[in-house]
Amino acid sequence: MAQVASNFDFTGPLGNLTAYKMRGIDKTILRTKGGATKEKIKTHPNFRVTRLQNAEFGGRSALSKRIREMLWPQPALADFNISGPINALIKPIQLLDKENPLGKRNIIISENPHLLEGFNLNRRAPIDSIIRSPLLGLVFRDTKSARLKIHELVPGINFFVPGKYPFFSITAVLGIVPDLFFSEAGYKPSSKAYDDLGPLESSTEWHSVMEGAEATELDLQLTNGAPDESFSLMLSVGIRFGTIGIGGAIQQIPHAGAAKILAVG
């Protein structure tokens, strides 16, 4: 991956090059054009394995999108593009399908949900470097609910804010991530009912960064249940920072904070 390292900077196409920006990388990324045409990849016998790999990549991309949707609004706290890393996280789960051939392997998160746990949406200052006491997340499949337990936060002891922010709030998000199964129409969940499910968010009140906060719990209860058992419950946690806005109300500071996938079951 080439990068522009001088004062000469641009984005867009230039001859055989394409320049673009990527969140989390300060420099401009350069990519060369070329390679086989899309039509050749779709039809030529030499690209049969490539087509099978692309089919599975499409399945991982579809599931990555659903995971990002079930994290909302935590992705707004990320300091890099999380799409590719989530896709990479899903690949070993797909490889666990030993029953189906390459190009048709299913993605069964529900059999190995713990493999998603601990995914951080931040590289510069992950949430574990801000809140040093472990955050406890519990998910309950039978009731489609979850609980986040937060220890007392004491500045300088177990609470270290990377910046001069006056206020903070902690947010828990609970969502349903379906398993995806291969079909000729692409990778799909076991039921279309999964398409209508959305995440549930619960947040603490705004606290002073200088004062910290007492121990607390956040409880989340989904009202729309999954249509079958081909799913995983995903609990994420994030810390956001705020400042006094117009009218004296506290407003969230864009892209300030951190988040992670805490528990999946």
- Sequence spans of domains, the chain: 2-32, 47-264
> Does the pLDDT value for residue 37 go beyond 60?
no
> Does the pLDDT value for residue 70 go beyond 80?
yes
Q: How confident is the model at residue 12 (pLDDT cuts 50, 70, 90)?
A: low
Give the global pTM: 0.83
Instruction: Considering only residues 243 and 245, tell me which one the structure prediction assigns the higher pLDDT.
Output: 243
What per-residue confidence (pLDDT) applies to 53? 73
> Does the pLDDT value for residue 44 go beyond 50?
no
Q: How many CB atoms lie within 10 A of CB 142?
A: 5
Average pLDDT, integer, range 51-61: 82
Give just the sign of the alpha carbon dihedral 23, 24, 29, 33: negative
CB-count exposure of residue 197 (10 Å: 0-12, 13-18, 19+): buried
Q: Tokens representing 77?
A: 């706290």
Residues 246-261 pLDDT 10s? 888 999 999 999 999 9
Average pLDDT, integer, range 208-215: 98
Crossing angle of helices 48-71/83-94, nearest 10°? 120
Spatial strand order in the sheet of 17-22: 2-4, 25-32, 17-22, 12-14
**In the chain, alpha helices (H):** 38-43, 48-71, 83-94, 127-130
DSSP per position, 146-215: EEEEE--B-BTTTB--SS--SEEEEEEEEEEEE-BB--TT--B-S-GGGGG---EEEEPPPEETTT-B--
Q: How confident is the model at residue 56 (pLDDT cuts 50, 70, 90)?
A: confident
Q: Alpha-carbon distance 87 to 40, whole Å?
A: 25
Arithmetic mean of pLDDT over the chain = 88
b/e map 216-247, b = 16+ CB within 10 Å: eebebebeeebbeebbbbbbbbbbbbbeeeee
The pairing of strands 167-178 and 231-244 is: antiparallel
What per-residue confidence (pLDDT) applies to 117? 97
**What's the maximum distance between 2 C-alpha atoms anywhere in the chain?**
66
Average pLDDT, integer, range 133-157: 97
- Nearest CA to 120 among 256, 232, 262, 240? 262
> Does the pLDDT value for residue 58 go beyond 60?
yes
